Amino acid sequence: MRVTSKVPGKCILFGEHAVVYGFPSISMAIPLNSTCIVEENKLNSIELNFKTINKKYEGSNLVDIEQKIPSNYSQFILGLNSLGNKFDIEIKDIRIELSSDIIPNAGLGSSASTSIALISAVSEFYGLNLKKADIFNFALEMEKITHGNPSGIDHTTCLYGNILFYQKGKPFHIVYPPDDFQVLITYTNQEHDTKEVISNVKRLKDEKSHLFDSIVDKIGFYTEIAELELVSGNYEEVGKLMNFNQDLLSQLNVSNETIDKINEIALKNGAYGSKLTGAGLGGCVITLGEEKELKKIAKIFKSQGYWNFLTTQDKNGAIATK
């Protein structure tokens, strides 16, 4: 038997960092996918193949694999162990292949997407019939190794797809903009360490609590307005709110010169709004505007060595099939 799961990535439109502290956010699933293939291995061993980076680990059991695998991949062993312990199954004699189109450490949800892909595929392979809420919980525990204190927005968006209004501890809902809504995503060519950035933001909260509270409260306020303008298709106003959000993120010290440069170029060339997406201090920038202007801006960025793509939302979310 062979099972394949595909899970999209994501970008945050509004509310990063504030979402960790209970404020609302808006995120969008994007059609870059992580893929997990699980099949029987007749060689009486477990094979864990990270195809994207061409690394393969083999052992007779998970303990063998855990001793060989680098610590930055330990979340996948945690996920497999958790499934085995929860359902009293011995995970053995299988071949697992993980690959992803998503740039790692770029704010596009690669960690959440691959975690969900693994849990979804293994669940389907063993007939565990996990509900999405269960997959979310397993994947979130895996993510704590990478991100420390994840809000859950990445997992929810990658799992369910669409554009979501998300607030920690509350039911999320789908946001329905006009069908022509799209953003330009541009990579800064700088990886970021999400766990470190979140830790830095927490330090600001602890040291300058009044300033921090004022900033995240405004981010939450702009996010709520942005949902209304997005649904109305008032993209110019959405763009202005993106710029306000970017200014506030700069005050949280999560922007940098490259992000500021990309935003400046976009705005000078007709974009309505442009901001970092995800943790910041590298990663990606999202830009909103008319399609003609976005295509022009994309060419400018490519000429300067910045990978980018123009995208609409992914509406499928996580899918696992035999």
CATH code, 52: 3.30.230.10
**Both 161 and 199 in a single domain?**
no
Given a cut of 90, is residue 167 above it in pLDDT?
Answer: yes
Q: Catalytic amino acids? A: 154
Lowest mean pLDDT among 14-23, 43-52, 250-259, 260-269: 43-52
Average pLDDT on 178-187 reads 97
Instruction: State the total domains in the chain.
Output: 2
Given a cut of 70, is residue 117 above it in pLDDT?
Answer: yes
Q: Positive or negative CA dihedral for 129, 134, 139, 141?
A: negative
**Both 108 and 230 in a single domain?**
no
**Both 117 and 150 in a single domain?**
yes
CA dihedral of residues 161, 109, 242, 199 (deg, nearest 10):
140
- pLDDT-based confidence at residue 61 (cuts at 50, 70, 90): confident
- CATH number for the domain that contains residue 181: 3.30.70.890
Q: Positive or negative CA dihedral for 48, 51, 52, 55?
A: positive
Domain span at residue 276 reads 177-311
Given a cut of 70, is residue 147 above it in pLDDT?
Answer: no
Question: Which pLDDT score, from 0 to 100, does residue 146 have?
Answer: 65
Residue identified by tokens 């693994």 is 118
Helices (H) and strands (E) in the chain, counts: 10, 12
Whole-model pTM: value is: 0.93
Question: For the chain, what is the mean pLDDT?
Answer: 93
Share of the chain above pLDDT 90, in %: 77
**Both 138 and 63 in a single domain?**
yes
